[in-house]
Structure 1
Amino acid sequence: MAAGELLVVAIDIGTTYSGYAMSFADDKYTIHAILGSGNRNPTRVSACPTPNKVPTALLLKPDGSFHSFGHEALNHYNIEIEEEEQKHWIYFSRFKMKLHHTANLSRTTMAVAVNGKELPVITVFAFALRHFKEAAINQISTYSAHDVDPDDIKWVITVPAIWDDGAKQIMREAAYEGGLVSKDHEERVVIALEPEAAALYCKSVNLTSAAVPNVECTSLAYESGTRYLLADLGGGTVDVTVHEVQSDDLIRELHHATGGAWGGIYVDQNFVQLVESIFDKKSIEKYRREHRGDWVELVSIKFESAKRCAQEDGTLYVELPHTFHDFMKDEEKKPVKDCVNRFGNPDVRLARGSLSLQYPEVRKLFEPVFSNISSHLKTLLEKVPGVKFMILVGGFATCALLQNYLKAEFEKSFRLRVVVARECSLSVVMGSVLFGHNPLAFLSRRVKYTYGVESSRDFVDGVDPKSLRTYGDDGKAKCIKTFTVFARKNSEIEIGHEIIDTFSPLCSDSKEVKVIVCASEDENPRYTTDVRKAAVMLLPMPDTAKGKSRVIKVFMKFGATEITVRSEDLSSGNSVGRKVELDFL
């Protein structure tokens, strides 16, 4: 940690649940985590209880000001506010997935509340981050006899490793808007990749504990030379990384992070589709409009709780709100039980006001999601041989059905051990605290895309398309819009390694050079015509004395959790490097 930083506070905003944790620099393994009851307990990594997170629920007043977050937001919206008034209140839940599903993120990307009200997604995250900042600062005095200045805090914000650079930038800018730090002190905000953070937590548990379930197995996963796959199974996404432990105890990434939208909420979606099949879809849509709070409670609380307790060959009971029974009796002209009987599926019944789902029907809700996860993991394991352990973390990893499914699919066929991490729903936020103390715990990372810039070169007949041919002042044929690579997809780059290139201005009086950074899914892109314009890089060159002969050297780091750039203006004689803004939005 930098001088003056006394503690690390990590904030993990998940799709369904969120939380924060902290520890002091002089005792980094004593991590204080929020408890679902509202109390906080100091817990050592070696002997951590099971604190609950809070629902990712943000409630704003009708005028747009902050009201509450978490359980308070959920309860106030569902219980305290009259149904007729709910349409005026601005309630957001599961807004994290907006950053995964939006192809071209920008500062104007909007998140949609339950009542249809839109706010910039940066602002929504800023409200959440500000809430956790205030909660953390209020608790710091509980753990320290000395006053802690907010400037003494390093903040760590978790993000899925599969997110694009633009999504990471939105989280960073939300931290500024939420008041964690000002942009002038950006170094006090660190972006942590969720599966990496979880790996650090699992590793630290094993190194400091002698009484952890599966400790023998998980300790072996962190022996030198061992390869393991870590799957962060969250509410929205599945985030997968493959690591190898080095002899110096550092961790090397063997494949760039992969994954997809196969989290627990997609089981929820299958449940909603089942409800729409049992009853009339238009009736369900009307119920959702007229009883917003009860619908949120049905899916986000009632079914969520039942889902986590699902067992093989067991029955899943989902309690229906009393308003649901009354509404369907008026809308369908018959009681809910008759509607369920009309559905004609013996595995779906009504039992004392609850939907009763027998295991064959339960399996239908889960298996499409499980299949997507399994297919992806098999493809990855075929690319990276020698993996001995599959470590499961994240809230969805608490689901016994998923645990058993993955063990059956992989332990024999791939000759590896499937291990469920201790306190798997907390491994990300706890590990992010450790990452804040030691961001150099990783030896190297793999590049997610091929990054480069647009340039021109000599035209190659029979290879380059004629549509990209042009002629220079010397009459030679040139190929425009060619892709010059800085870092290639899935290439291994050590932490701290800099890739160096030089640029010159096109005009003699230009005081900056504008560089468009491109990103491609291909490892060997030849042209920029079919790639994504990922970012804009502005290189300052205020001294124009040497005109177009000026040269600026650029140093790019692709091995950290965020891409960073600095530059040196060689022509001006000023060799002092300065940070370069890299705008992915």
Structure 2
Amino acid sequence: MDDDNPIRQDLTGVKQLKRVSSNRQKFEKASKVKNTLKTNKGFGIHGEDEVHQNLSLNETTIEEDEFEKQKDRTYLYVAAIDIGTTFSGYAYSSHKDFMKDPLKVFSHLWSAANYISQKTSTFILYDPEDKFYSFGSDAETRYIELLDQEDAEKWKAFYNFKMKLYEKNVTLENAELLLEDDQGRKKPALTVFADCIRSLKDSLFNNLEEQGINISTDKVRFILTVPAIWNDKSRGFMINAAKEAGIQKEHLLLSLEPEAAAVLCKEHHVDEYYKFGSEDLINFDFCSEFVVADLGGGTIDITTNKILPFGSLKEIKSARGGDYGGTMVDREFFDFLKDCIGSDYDDFIREHLSEFHDLRHDLEIKKRQTGEATHFFVSLTIAPAFEQKIDRSKMKEHNDRIKISHGKLQIPVEFFQSFFSKPIQGILTCLEEAVADEIKSILLVGGFANSKLIYQAVKEKFPSKHVYCPPDADLSVLKGAVIYGHNPDLVASRISRDWLGVIPDENFSPVNLKNSKNDFYLLTQKGHPITMDEKFYHRFIVDKKCDKDTISLNIVSSAADCLPTSTTEDLKRVKSFDLPLPSPKVAALRIIDLIVKLKGTQFDFKARVKSRSPWL
């Protein structure tokens, strides 16, 4: 058909108007869905009327909840920041562009040694005075240059450190988590993460300024992406790091990485529908259920979601995952190299850090290419020091076809692919737990999803499912997080990852005994769906004999398979309150009210003491 046909132009115009109208209605429709999900199926008391129970009480005040106001506020820009294990970046869009086309999201182009990329290396460098020097590929390049100089040991370089928030048990007690650089020297993790976030934030504002856009930080909503399998303490750590980087909490939201990718891919589906009229281009119909696997550098993160009637997302299974990301391939390769070099491997690497980083960089490129070509060998460039150090006999024990020639370590493809075996098996095991019969589609996103080996393995494992790896899979999380930031109501509910509860003592006891079992008072049930912003009210009666000035209320969590008790080994303190308590001489009845609310990706807790005077 002729493109100048006025009828075709009219139809195109109608579709565009429908698209703009649809975007303007998203806020209202998503909110309606969220409100319909607020049913009385949870624990505790679900209404203010029930909380007051017609008691005439004096009470301490609870701070006004500003979260809802900030969440519903319209910002001129939304910017998402992703600190990845291997690569990091940011993306952004204006509110004006979002209302016209949600997919109009911009990301910064980073220049490295020989290429341009939409993400940069997660590599941070500190100078000899221990001051921040630079972040990203420039920092990595500069550090490699410095390694050939005499004062190189005075500089500190950190990379692959995001995994520490998954490996370490981040709690209230060990907030001063320390990271080690590649020479074993330590620095507070909060400082390192904050400097990374600050560097990306500053790059964003420099980018906008170059476009003639001068805007203050309070006009930008920042979205910080985090893995779904992280606990609340690790997420809280990132909020503190953002605050240290100059991003105020009231302008910040966290976004779960696979959830953000789901938002983007759903939006792609809507976009394709309006352009081509197809309802099943990537198999994400409304009310359908699908799995998102965010395959990153350090961890994999898998969620199961359902698209609700107005397009918002509901999490229907707890997130699962593990340390099966792309760096596991690195570990397998360097374990092989360590065996070929011998017991002094660690000392050798410290003496040849420059050559080690070159090899690590080349390995990252070859990882992504494996599975694409039909070459018989994967060729890695190695420095003369490595060539001389490698024990050929040890090398041949692994595979007799491995050879070193003209500065190249040539590894047979089938042996190189064996480095992928453990992460692939881990990914497939996690997917088996998430993929049920009703699941239509599996989304593969994240940098590791670019591996053809991963895609092929998932396709073979789940032949009846639609396996989809979107264009720019490593940017899916960032772009989806921007869309989510413009309309947080796109996520309607999430699954509680852990049991949350209170352990009453001799000083207070719960009003609702149904929630109390084996000396554990249940606040939220593991695996139970929680609607966003839904409040749960819980009440405890203070014992008449308690004459303390303050009373402690400790909220604990557990990842146990069954309902925990006060002696469950993995109990962790989530939140503590020391509440002023009136004397029993002036208060005939003293009650603790606790409010639990899912705010974004974390639970929020507020507590107060109510009292009734004896003469009332």
Report Cα offsets for 1:390-428 as digits up to 9, x if no partner: 1100000000111111111111xxx21111122110001
Q: Which residue of 1 aligns with 2:560?
A: 521
* Residue identity matched to 1:112: E
Q: Which residue of 2 aligns with 1:43?
A: none
Report Cα offsets for 1:310-357 as digits up to 9, x if no partner: 0275345343343xx13653xx5xxx6956875572331224311111
Q: Which residue of 2 aligns with 1:420?
A: 469
Instruction: Choose which of 435, 443, 451 in structure 1 pairs with 2:484.
Output: 435
CA contact (8 A) 1:227 1:386 kept: yes
Could you tell me how far 1:193 is from its partner in structure 2?
0.4
The structure whose RCO (Cα within 8 Å, separation 6+) is larger is 2
Could you tell me how far 1:505 is from its partner in structure 2?
5.3
Residue 263 to residue 51, structure 1, CA distance change in 2 (3 Å): same
Question: 2:369, 2:607 → 1: CA distance?
Answer: 54
Question: 2:398, 2:256 → 1: CA distance?
Answer: 47
Instruction: Choose which of 109, 116, 128 in structure 2 pairs with 1:62.
Output: 128
- Percent identity for Structure 1 against Structure 2: 27
Question: 2:401, 2:328 → 1: CA distance?
Answer: 21
Question: 1:119, 1:162 → 2: CA distance?
Answer: 25
CA contact (8 A) 2:254 2:600 kept: no
Q: Which residue of 1 aligns with 2:501?
A: 452
Could you tell me how far 1:528 is from its partner in structure 2?
3.8
Instruction: Choose which of 274, 297, 307 in structure 2 pairs with 1:245.
Output: 307
Question: 1:37, 1:395 → 2: CA distance?
Answer: 18
Question: 2:234, 2:187 → 1: CA distance?
Answer: 16
SS where residue 87 of structure 1 aligns?
A: helix
CA contact (8 A) 2:107 2:118 kept: no
Could you tell me how far 1:287 is from its partner in structure 2?
2.1
CA contact (8 A) 1:266 1:369 kept: yes
Q: Which residue of 2 aligns with 1:14?
A: 84
Q: Which residue of 2 aligns with 1:178?
A: 245
* Residue identity matched to 1:149: S
Instruction: Choose which of 207, 225, 230 in structure 2 pairs with 1:163.
Output: 230
Q: Which residue of 2 aligns with 1:461?
A: none
Instruction: Choose which of 297, 300, 303 in structure 1 pairs with 2:363.
Output: 303
Could you tell me how far 1:552 is from its partner in structure 2?
3.1
Q: Which residue of 2 aligns with 1:35?
A: 109
Structure 2 residue 602 is matched with structure 1 residue 562: yes
Q: Which residue of 2 aligns with 1:476?
A: none
Residue 259 to residue 430, structure 1, CA distance change in 2 (3 Å): same
Structure 2 residue 402 is matched with structure 1 residue 402: no
Structure 2 residue 247 is matched with structure 1 residue 195: no
Structure 2 residue 77 is matched with structure 1 residue 25: no
Q: Which residue of 2 aligns with 1:113?
A: 181
Question: 1:493, 1:245 → 2: CA distance?
Answer: 16
Report Cα offsets for 1:176-219 as digits up to 9, x if no partner: 112222xxxx2211111000011111112222247999x97554
Between the two proteins, the alignment pairs up a number of residues equal to: 522
Instruction: Choose which of 209, 213, 233 in structure 2 pairs with 1:141.
Output: 209
Question: 1:568, 1:111 → 2: CA distance?
Answer: 38
The 5 Å alignment of 1:146-545 reads 147-181=214-248, 186-209=249-272, 219-221=282-284, 223-282=285-344, 284-299=345-360, 301-311=361-371, 314-322=375-383, 325-326=384-385, 329=388, 332=389, 343=397, 345-381=399-435, 384-411=436-463, 415-455=464-504, 482-503=519-540, 507-511=546-550, 513-538=552-577, 540-541=579-580
SS where residue 183 of structure 2 aligns?
A: coil
CA contact (8 A) 1:157 1:190 kept: yes
Residue 456 to residue 389, structure 1, CA distance change in 2 (3 Å): same
Question: 2:130, 2:612 → 1: CA distance?
Answer: 50
For structure 1, the 5+ residue unaligned runs are: 39-49, 458-471, 473-478, 574-585
CA RMSD of aligned residues (A): 2.9
* Residue identity matched to 1:179: G
Could you tell me how far 1:69 is from its partner in structure 2?
0.5
Report Cα offsets for 1:490-509 as digits up to 9, x if no partner: 11111121111124557445
* Residue identity matched to 2:79: V
CA contact (8 A) 1:11 1:429 kept: yes
Residue 355 to residue 454, structure 1, CA distance change in 2 (3 Å): same
Residue 143 to residue 203, structure 1, CA distance change in 2 (3 Å): farther
Question: 1:247, 1:211 → 2: CA distance?
Answer: 17
Residue 483 to residue 409, structure 1, CA distance change in 2 (3 Å): same
Question: 1:175, 1:57 → 2: CA distance?
Answer: 18
Q: Which residue of 2 aligns with 1:549?
A: 589
Could you tell me how far 1:518 is from its partner in structure 2?
3.0
TM-score normalised by the chain length of structure 1: 0.83
TM-score normalised by the chain length of structure 2: 0.79
* Residue identity matched to 2:488: P
Question: 1:307, 1:548 → 2: CA distance?
Answer: 70
Question: 1:165, 1:316 → 2: CA distance?
Answer: 45
Question: 2:137, 2:386 → 1: CA distance?
Answer: 26
Question: 1:311, 1:149 → 2: CA distance?
Answer: 46
CA contact (8 A) 1:20 1:132 kept: yes
Q: Which residue of 1 aligns with 2:47?
A: none
SS where residue 267 of structure 1 aligns?
A: helix
CA contact (8 A) 2:125 2:132 kept: yes
Question: 1:121, 1:501 → 2: CA distance?
Answer: 36
Question: 1:212, 1:397 → 2: CA distance?
Answer: 27
SS where residue 563 of structure 1 aligns?
A: strand
Could you tell me how far 1:74 is from its partner in structure 2?
0.4
CA contact (8 A) 1:212 1:422 kept: no
Residue 55 to residue 318, structure 1, CA distance change in 2 (3 Å): farther
Question: 1:534, 1:569 → 2: CA distance?
Answer: 21
Residue 568 to residue 57, structure 1, CA distance change in 2 (3 Å): same
CA contact (8 A) 1:218 1:419 kept: no
Residue 484 to residue 241, structure 1, CA distance change in 2 (3 Å): same
SS where residue 473 of structure 2 aligns?
A: coil
Residue 379 to residue 210, structure 1, CA distance change in 2 (3 Å): closer
CA contact (8 A) 2:324 2:422 kept: no
Question: 2:123, 2:604 → 1: CA distance?
Answer: 33
Report Cα offsets for 1:510-556 as digits up to 9, x if no partner: 34643242323224224444341231222644766845832232211
* Residue identity matched to 2:298: G
Structure 2 residue 160 is matched with structure 1 residue 86: no
